[in-house]
Amino acid sequence: MKFKTTALLAAVAALAAANLAFAAKDDVLSHRCYTVAPEASERARIDENLTAFLRMKTARGVDTQRAPGSVTIPVWFHVINKGTGLSNGDIPQSQIDDQIAVLNAAYASTPFKFSLAGVDRTTNSSWYTMSPGSSAEKAAKTALRKGGADALNLYSANPGGGLLGWATFPSDYAGSPKNDGVVVLFSSVPGGTAAPYNEGDTGTHEVGHWLGLYHTFQGGCKNPGDSVKDTPAEKSAAFGCPTGRDSCSGKAGLDPITNFMDYTDDSCMNQFTTAQSTRMDQMHQQYRQP
């Protein structure tokens, strides 16, 4: 059963009315990720600020390129459930450990490695079904979030509307620090039941947003709409694993269906590009470095 268009439009309208900024919300069955990203003018402002920041660091003789694995991100994992047992969202420590392992494998070529700082478990039926921008999300994050801008707060829950998850961008932190973090469907972690999104790459995808990446198809065939120069232009999201897809004819390269920031199945995703790694590094230095 697919997520109905009317429900999707209602969710978007509610988010717009609330004037909330979050990176992405993911629908298990019909969408990997339905995005409410910054407007083009805001994206341009963020990129201009980033350029100015990098010039400042270069002028001071500071190296802006960090080595793979040189930056440790502490992860606070918040398990929100409606009772004991896996069927109630109370995922075991083994799946949490596996999720951290998936993140470390996915980000191995980037400056980032992830270290589990702590796990807490909260039984709250309202928070368990929280949706983006809801009072339940605000209450949960206000109560549970730990650390500063550099700390990844990862919440597992069972969001309403069939959502896989959502995240905030680095530039959002200053204006709303308590809202910062990533939410994932509990059954999307490795070994979960949300096939074909049950290998942990919902977490990989959403952490990409948390570190400053947009979707590979941001801006459609107007490359680089995602502010990354080495991701081929892509007209729209790819689903499944459509090998050879070329949605922007006349543009260099086939669609980046294996990129973690597309919408394809977990089993299809396996890479970040060099420029994506660079952008995440730069965004982290500007907004998240302690």
CA atoms within 13 A on the CB side of 177: 9
Q: Which of 39, 42, 199, 206 is labelled catalytic?
A: 206
> What is the full DSSP assignment across 201-243?
HHHHHHHHHHTT---TTTTTTSSSTTS-TTSPP-SS---S--T
β-strand 112-123 against 165-167: which pairing, if any?
unpaired
Q: Which two tokens stand for residue 63?
A: 């190296």
8 Å CB contact between 285 and 57: yes
Query: For the chain, give me the number of helices (H) and strands (E)?
Result: 7, 7
d(CA 230, CA 223): 9
Closest by CA to 23, choosing from 138, 178, 182, is 182
What gap in Å lies between CA 22 and CA 259, rounded to an integer?
A: 21
Cα(241)–Cα(287) distance, integer angstroms:
34
- Cα Rg, the chain, nearest whole Å: 18
For 174, residues 6+ apart whose C-beta sits below 8 A from its C-beta are 287
Q: Let me know if 137 is a catalytic residue.
A: no
- DSSP lists the bridge partners of residue 78 as 120, 155
Catalytic residues: 206
